[in-house]
Amino acid sequence: MAKVRVFSLAKELGLQTDALLAALARLGVENVTKASAIDEETAATVRELIAEQAAKAKAEAEAAAAAAEAPPAPVEVEQPAVAEPEEAAPVVETPATTAAAPAAGRGRARGDERERKEEDEGRLPGGPPRLTQGMMRLEEHLAALQERLGPQAEEEAGGLVRALPDIARRTRGNRPPNAVDVPPVVTVMGHIDHGKTTLLDALRNTQVAAGEAGGITQHIGASEISRDGRTIVFLDTPGHAAFTAMRARGAQVTDIAVIVVAADDGVMPQTVEAINHAKAAEVPIVVALNKMDLPGANPDRVKQQLLEHGLVPEEWGGDTIVVPISALTGEGMDDLVDNLNILAEVQELWADPEADLAAVVVEAQLDSSQGPVATVLVRNGTLSVGDCVVCGTAHGRVRRLRDWRGKSIKSVPAGHPAEVVGLSAVPDSGEVMVRVASPKEARALAEQNAQELRERELSGTETAALRGLYEAIQGGTVKELNVIIKADAWGSAQALESSLLGLNELFDEVRINVIHTGVGHISESDVLLALASKAIIVGFQVEADAMVRQAAANERVEIRTYQVIYEALEDFQAAAAGLLEPIVETRDLGDAEVLQVFRISRIGAVAGCRVTAGELRPNADIVVTRDGEEIYRGKITSLRRFDNDVSVVEAPSECGLASGDFRGWRPGDRIHATMQVTVERKLQTQSQR
């Protein structure tokens, strides 16, 4: 059956898309977004109802005007609502899991639930309302509809892009008169060898004019594709790692993620990662089903696999646009570009070319002849040669600008990428570039940024943690706990996921969200995702190697690994109940007796001892007694055996030890050593009781 997209229908009817979505919800059509396609029959019903209401509202307005009473409310004509449906009103069946924009979708679904409840309370007795009754209750709905059209609805609609950092965020809200439409920014992600690079090359080469054969070889880090007067910006570094690394720094520039899946290979681990990284960023997803030219291509199998990961293809009643293509032969490429344009149109992206400059660094490197070179995407304002700019701790005057084809330009308008030469240092990707009035101001701001960076590094960033969860809940700072699950096998990953989600039944104050479930060891990409999404990583029968642990420690990302599911569940329960605060315990280490005392000019006094029980370790706390009386308390500051520093000496070995500048040792003194250890608190389980 023919389908029509929600936003196209809204446009046709002169309605705001949110109003139409609300109206559709009343018709029982749920789990749809602006980009969803609804069947023609539903669209026809909506058109009819709108026409009837408009006519009715108009008649009433005229009658009211004639009666010279209050002036007619124009909104009734301009923004008609849809009345209660007949029982037989067509319903589009959509599976419960639509995932292109999870948060926005959820928000809306909750809102609709509330609205439905309110409606139900006011429902006329005597069975389901007939169309005419619904029409009579039009006025009642108008007020509610009007409310939804207010700022709150605007905010909900902005849910897809709300996560952007303040300055480089896509501008929402009232569009100033001088605003211009800007192209969407698209990132290509997917499993290795599924054709990301080939796709980007193919897209770029559609722009090559005849005679320029050989393709565009100079990449600045972003490309622009224009068709039918509409432009799309593609980021040239494919993959979700770069995407999430930028997001982890607070900059998200991607408006649409294209997930490339080879039709002959299907959904692979990195495909799942890419899907989950895009979902965590609330970026709409388009699936490019690549390599359709190969005999082994099996699109239905891939769609089935996508379904398992929460992406329901449109043709199966869902929201995910799946476009079969061959990056090699060019098949389906136009269709892909058309669909990207449709999704972009839904997002109504605009920027203000006269606003203060805000540009985001996409990538940057040091060039041996030109110095630091950065590719930036201008989000707002206009960047021109000669501008004094600051970009994190780098600053300078823009000496040269190049467009995506490498052509020198004088200025870059909002929405477009360019290569910038003239900075004092190589900025990090994700850094935001701003303009200042003078080189002096640029230096001062760069120094201030450097100072803030140092302070941030010292104080640490706000990250999620299981430990401390209770306090955070009490303090009202945590409502949701994002979790990334990595396990040794799919079965166990899913078992852990459903067990953790099952805890939500028990928790009142905190909600566990699993934002990514994957198989394999914990990787740096998981750490990045955790950082970007303020999540903790739970490993089940998998480990993180030393480099990953170090990266996690640097970024203060919490990794917890378990061998048994119930231990993970206990920890989560304990954390929510405030029982997971670590306990610091004093543990007995060992005893020693001083045999001989050496005076060494550099160190002071060294006690030559025999360990009589247990062991001694550097940094251990010691109590020294003589004839049963305590004569000294301190720490072991040096522990040696045969002139070598050692980390432990066990009974009955001999060793030399020093404690700060304590010099009062005597042969025969007794030493008792203890150590402070931090113990993770464990709950007693039923099986242990």
Q: Of the candidates 631, 632, 629, 512, which has an alpha carbon nearest to the alpha carbon of residue 572?
A: 512
Interatomic CA distance for residues 557 and 536, integer angstroms: 6
DSSP 547-561: HHHHHHHHHT--EEE
Residue nearest to ligand GDP (CB): 195
3-class DSSP assignment, residue 376: strand
3-class DSSP assignment, residue 408: strand
The smaller minimum CB distance to ligand GDP, of residues 197 and 449, is found at 197
Taking every pair of Cα atoms in the chain, the longest distance, rounded to a whole number of angstroms, is 114
Interatomic CA distance for residues 316 and 304, integer angstroms: 10
Q: Which helix (H) or strand (E) holds 598?
A: strand 583-600
Question: 10 Å Cβ neighbour count for 363?
Answer: 23
The smaller minimum CB distance to ligand GDP, of residues 140 and 331, is found at 331
Interatomic CA distance for residues 10 and 35, integer angstroms: 11
The nearest distance, CB 271 to ligand GDP, in angstroms, is: 10
Q: Which of residues 272-291 bind ligand GDP (CB under 6 A)?
A: 290-291
Chosen residue from 75, 328, 565, 623 binding ligand GDP by CB under 6 A: 328
Interatomic CA distance for residues 265 and 237, integer angstroms: 22
The nearest distance, CB 90 to ligand GDP, in angstroms, is: 38
Check residue 534 and give left, alpha or beta (phi > 0: left; psi -120 to 50: alpha). left
Chosen residue from 31, 270, 326, 517 binding ligand GDP by CB under 6 A: 326
The nearest distance, CB 292 to ligand GDP, in angstroms, is: 7
Measured in whole angstroms, how far is the alpha carbon of residue 441 from the centre of its chain? 34
Task: Write out the two tokens for 654.
Answer: 């001999």
Beta bridge partners of 522: 544
The nearest distance, CB 363 to ligand GDP, in angstroms, is: 17
Interatomic CA distance for residues 624 and 669, integer angstroms: 7
Count residues binding ligand GDP (CB under 6 A): 16
Q: Which of residues 191-210 bind ligand GDP (CB under 6 A)?
A: 192-198
Chosen residue from 91, 135, 294, 648 binding ligand GDP by CB under 6 A: 294
Q: Which of residues 227-266 bind ligand GDP (CB under 6 A)?
A: 238
Q: Residue holding tokens 């909900």?
A: 156
Q: Which of residues 507-546 bind ligand GDP (CB under 6 A)?
A: none
Q: Of the candidates 421, 474, 424, 471, which has an alpha carbon nearest to the alpha carbon of residue 445?
A: 424
The smaller minimum CB distance to ligand GDP, of residues 331 and 593, is found at 331
By the rule CB under 6 A, 293 interacts with ligand GDP = yes
Chosen residue from 251, 258, 327, 484 binding ligand GDP by CB under 6 A: 327
The smaller minimum CB distance to ligand GDP, of residues 78 and 300, is found at 300
Q: Which of residues 574-633 bind ligand GDP (CB under 6 A)?
A: none
By the rule CB under 6 A, 324 interacts with ligand GDP = no
Residues in the chain: 689
By the rule CB under 6 A, 187 interacts with ligand GDP = no
The nearest distance, CB 287 to ligand GDP, in angstroms, is: 14
The nearest distance, CB 222 to ligand GDP, in angstroms, is: 17
The nearest distance, CB 230 to ligand GDP, in angstroms, is: 24
Q: Residue holding tokens 């509330």?
A: 114
The nearest distance, CB 189 to ligand GDP, in angstroms, is: 9
3-class DSSP assignment, residue 192: coil
Q: Of the candidates 648, 681, 433, which has an alpha carbon nearest to the alpha carbon of residue 579?
A: 681
The nearest distance, CB 270 to ligand GDP, in angstroms, is: 9
The smaller minimum CB distance to ligand GDP, of residues 97 and 197, is found at 197
The nearest distance, CB 416 to ligand GDP, in angstroms, is: 25
Q: Which residues bind ligand GDP (CB under 6 A)?
A: 190, 192-198, 238, 290-291, 293-294, 326-328
